[in-house]
Amino acid sequence: MPELVPPLPSSATLVAQNIAKSFASGRLTTPVLSNLSVSIDAGELTLISGPSGCGKSTLLSILSGLQTPDAGHVMALSESLQTMDSHRREAFRLHHTGFVFQGFNLFPALTAREQVRLPLQYLDLSSQEIDRRTDESLEEVGIAHRHHLRPAELSGGEKQRVAIARALAKLPALLFADEPTSALDAASGQVIIDLLHRIARAHGTTVLCVSHDPRLISHADRVLTMEDGRILNDSRQLTPHRPQDRRASC
């Protein structure tokens, strides 16, 4: 009998139901997530906050398909990640998701423009379309004038803007950010926060961010507070304006 897949709430693009995850070290098994359920909407910046070790990065990894849960289901864009094989999950991430990490994950030998172009070359796009998306994404994050520079020539905030442009150029429906401001000073961190919020609003993107940075709280549309593998509090800010999705025309 095929595995039953839970329905996707009408407004949600990302849903986890009854997720559990543990990690083993020798004879010791440590539970990280316990029977956790949550749904995430498009056009919002959702922040997962909590102390170190509470399971927030593990939850982000499972919701993005980088890890599989021990139990439960994840539905992303009406598809079950658990019913996909590894190749299908990789294709799903390539075409529908973007990632922004604390450590930037840039290639030292590539210029900012080359960093953004690289993943687009795997999307079966024309050279003209790759160039257009690259240039528009660099312009949107305010780094177009630095397109010819390599990571060693960029500040931390500029590196993170290149990483965001690289994710944005794919026109992802889902954007995952893991501690995107923790390596940055206050001014650079504020720029990154504003960019993530603007992307959610302007593109109708589902932006899910893990951070312990208190600056993000006031900019998030929704804050999920975690502790000991569970969501203790789910709070919304003022009802966000939901723009039409402009990705098709970008």
Please write the tens of the pLDDT for every residue from 156-197.
999 999 999 999 999 999 999 999 998 888 888 888 989 999
In the chain, what are the domain boundaries?
A: 41-57+90-239
Q: How far apart are CA 96 and CA 170, in angstroms?
A: 8
For the ranges 10-14, 86-90, 161-165, which has the lowest average pLDDT?
10-14
89-114: pLDDT as tens digits: 999 999 999 999 888 999 999 999 99
In terms of pLDDT, which residue wins out, 213 or 157?
Answer: 157
CATH of 41-57+90-239, one of 3.40.50.300, 3.40.50.12500, 3.20.20.150, 1.10.760.10: 3.40.50.300
pLDDT-based confidence at residue 238 (cuts at 50, 70, 90) = low
Q: Which of 141, 137, 135, 210 is nearest to 171 (CA)?
A: 137
Distances (CA, A) of 89 to 73, 79, 177: 14, 10, 18
In single-letter form, the type of residue at position 203 comes to: H
SS3 percent helix, strand, coil of the chain, rounded to 5, is 35, 30, 35
Q: How far apart are CA 22 and CA 189, in angstroms?
A: 32
